[in-house]
């Protein structure tokens, strides 16, 4: 059934938590794309086509009313005061030659002081931070930032994106299981249960803004946030951009299962030298990322259903901080598989990727699709956006879907459904 979707009129404010490698690459690339100085390669909203019910293909942006790149206004919070141009130069992802094409616009993007707690990212020491009496007060300051940015930049709508570092691992506690208990913990300044990212998420939802969690830490994937997002009629999505090694896993693992090939072991290691790599060098922060990465294989392979093939998979994940590599992450996967009569084989994958080059189009698509979802009256967990995330959000009654091809079909079905169409009458 066709949905009523409000048009993408006026300016769309994109407020990004963290002005680091991913966010400056997103900002600079978007600005370059809209001035014709580059192409948004990797972006589904800008470059993908979908086959419609009549079997004709259309660009995504011609099927549903996606916000125009020209209407985007960027803002940010960060623990350092550097503007987006200086931060991008420091990140060393895009060349200075390319950054200079949009230098004036990047220089104009100056971050607001960030909501930060050193205990949640011990390897970072910032100089540009908010002071507060409680987590509730911190959240109220963020709400004011959103309102002020919206007014100052004449924005019709705002989307808030977390592109900051991974926070330390914590399990879900009683404070997270209802909106009332979370609000109580915030007002009582329970800094061990309420992270800075939760303050951003709560503030965004309270202001009616979609919130996207681009890291694997516990934040919007809790019942309290689900309850609040439904109450405020706001979409939420996450978590953790599916950019490199996990993207490969969501392609290879379905292939093994479709072919009924067994897997005995999967060893994954990475070297990374940017700020994210430095933060993940702390075991407490790495634990958060490890849990996110480890969840993929079991979900896809379904060892309970296929014990002979996947009942004893040894899965190990490692991330090593290696400063000389900077943002150019290198990932190795050694996969031990077995086939006919149990005979062993090996697959080795060496992915020399650029972390932020892969993550930036994901961030853009999540922003534009979240804005679309809000205008279409959708709220709560956006399961259809699992395609973009390492750890797809899901409620406590359902399992996440990790198979990349199933996730892509979910995206296409949702977009077709918004305009009252069905998938073509054959396997899509």
Higher pLDDT, 205 or 317: 205
pLDDT at 350 over 90: yes
Q: In the chain, what are the helix, strand and coil shares in percent, each to the nearest 5?
A: 45, 20, 35
**Bridge partners for 17 per DSSP:** 77, 162
Instruction: Return the structure tokens found at 146.
Output: 């959103």
Rg value, the chain, Cα: 21
Distance CA 77, CA 82 (A): 11
Q: What is the pLDDT of residue 338?
A: 98
Give the number of other Cβ atoms within 10 Å of residue 304's Cβ: 9
pLDDT at 343 over 70: yes
pLDDT at 295 over 80: no
Q: What is the pLDDT of residue 426?
A: 61
pLDDT at 394 over 90: no
Band of residue 428 on the pLDDT scale cut at 50, 70, 90? low
Q: What is the pLDDT of residue 243?
A: 87
Strands 72-78 vs 57-59: parallel, antiparallel or unpaired: unpaired
Instruction: Return the structure tokens found at 334.
Output: 């050694």
Give the number of other Cβ atoms within 10 Å of residue 402's Cβ: 25
Q: What is the pLDDT of residue 183?
A: 98
Band of residue 326 on the pLDDT scale cut at 50, 70, 90? confident
Run of H or E including 23: helix 21-34
Q: What is the pLDDT of residue 196?
A: 97
Mean pLDDT of all residues in 233-239: 95
Centroid of chain to Cα 326: 20
> Could you tell me the domains of the chain?
11-241+356-418 (3.40.50.720), 245-352 (3.30.360.10)
Instruction: Return the structure tokens found at 291.
Output: 């849990």
Q: What is the pLDDT of residue 63?
A: 96
Band of residue 286 on the pLDDT scale cut at 50, 70, 90? confident
Instruction: Return the structure tokens found at 29.
Output: 């690339």
Q: What is the pLDDT of residue 293?
A: 65
Band of residue 1 on the pLDDT scale cut at 50, 70, 90? low
pLDDT at 425 over 90: no
pLDDT at 27 over 90: yes
Q: What is the pLDDT of residue 37?
A: 94
Query: 241, 249 in Cβ contact below 8 A?
Result: no
> Percent of the chain at pLDDT above 90?
80
Q: What is the dihedral of CA 411, 412, 417, 423, to 10 degrees?
A: -150
Mean pLDDT of all residues in 134-149: 98
Average pLDDT along the chain? 94
pLDDT at 407 over 70: yes
Band of residue 354 on the pLDDT scale cut at 50, 70, 90? very high
Query: Which range is least confidently modeled, 162-166, 205-209, 264-268, 392-396?
Result: 392-396
Query: Which range is least confidently modeled, 24-33, 225-234, 388-397?
Result: 388-397
Band of residue 134 on the pLDDT scale cut at 50, 70, 90? very high
Mean pLDDT of all residues in 112-125: 94
Mean pLDDT of all residues in 321-341: 92
Largest CA distance in the chain: 68
Band of residue 292 on the pLDDT scale cut at 50, 70, 90? low
Q: What is the pLDDT of residue 291?
A: 74
Which of these, 7, 410, 110, lies nearest to 237 by C-alpha position?
410
Which of these, 93, 117, 98, lies nearest to 35 by C-alpha position?
98
Mean pLDDT of all residues in 63-74: 98
Handedness of CA 384, 385, 386, 387 (dihedral sign): positive
Higher pLDDT, 143 or 396: 143
Q: What is the pLDDT of residue 365?
A: 98
């Amino acid at each position: 059934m066709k949905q009523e979707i409000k048009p993408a009129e006026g300016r769309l404010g994109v407020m990004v938590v963290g002005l680091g490698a991913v966010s400056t690459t997103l900002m600079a690339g978007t600005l370059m794309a809209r001035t014709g100085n580059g192409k948004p390669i990797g972006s589904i909203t800008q470059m993908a086509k979908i086959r419609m019910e009549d079997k004709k293909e259309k660009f995504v942006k011609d099927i549903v009313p996606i916000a125009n790149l020209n209407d985007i206004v960027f803002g940010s919070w960060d623990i350092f005061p550097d503007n987006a141009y200086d931060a991008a130069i420091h990140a060393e992802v895009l060349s200075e030659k390319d950054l200079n094409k949009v230098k004036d616009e990047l220089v104009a993007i100056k971050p607001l002081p960030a909501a930060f707690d050193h205990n949640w990212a011990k390897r970072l020491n910032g100089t540009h931070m908010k002071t507060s009496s409680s987590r509730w007060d911190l959240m109220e300051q963020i709400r004011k930032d959103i309102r002020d940015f919206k007014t100052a930049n004449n924005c019709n709508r705002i989307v808030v994106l977390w592109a900051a570092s991974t926070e330390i691992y914590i399990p879900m506690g009683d404070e997270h299981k209802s909106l009332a208990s979370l609000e109580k913990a915030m007002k009582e300044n329970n800094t061990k249960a309420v992270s800075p990212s939760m303050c951003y998420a709560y503030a965004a939802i309270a202001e009616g803004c979609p919130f996207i969690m681009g890291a694997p830490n516990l934040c919007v994937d809790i019942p309290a946030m689900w309850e609040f997002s439904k109450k405020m009629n706001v979409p939420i999505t996450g978590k953790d951009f599916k950019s490199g090694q996990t993207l490969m896993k969501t392609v290879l693992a379905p292939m093994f299962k479709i072919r009924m090939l067994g897997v005995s072991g999967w060893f994954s290691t990475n070297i990374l030298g940017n700020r994210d790599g430095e933060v993940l060098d702390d075991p407490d922060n790495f634990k958060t990322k490890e849990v996110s990465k480890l969840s993929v294989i079991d979900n896809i392979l379904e060892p309970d259903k296929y014990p002979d093939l996947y009942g004893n998979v040894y899965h190990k994940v490692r991330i090593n901080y290696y400063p000389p590599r900077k943002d150019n992450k290198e990932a190795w996967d050694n996969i031990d598989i077995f086939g006919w009569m149990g005979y062993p084989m090996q697959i080795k994958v060496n992915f020399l990727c650029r972390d932020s080059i892969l993550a930036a189009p994901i961030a853009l698509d999540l922003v534009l699709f979240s804005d679309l979802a809000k205008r279409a009256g959708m709220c709560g967990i956006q399961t259809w956006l699992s395609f973009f995330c390492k750890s797809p959000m899901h409620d406590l009654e359902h399992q996440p879907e990790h198979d990349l091809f199933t996730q892509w079909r979910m995206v296409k079905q949702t977009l077709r459904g918004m305009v009252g169409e069905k998938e073509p009458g054959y396997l899509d």
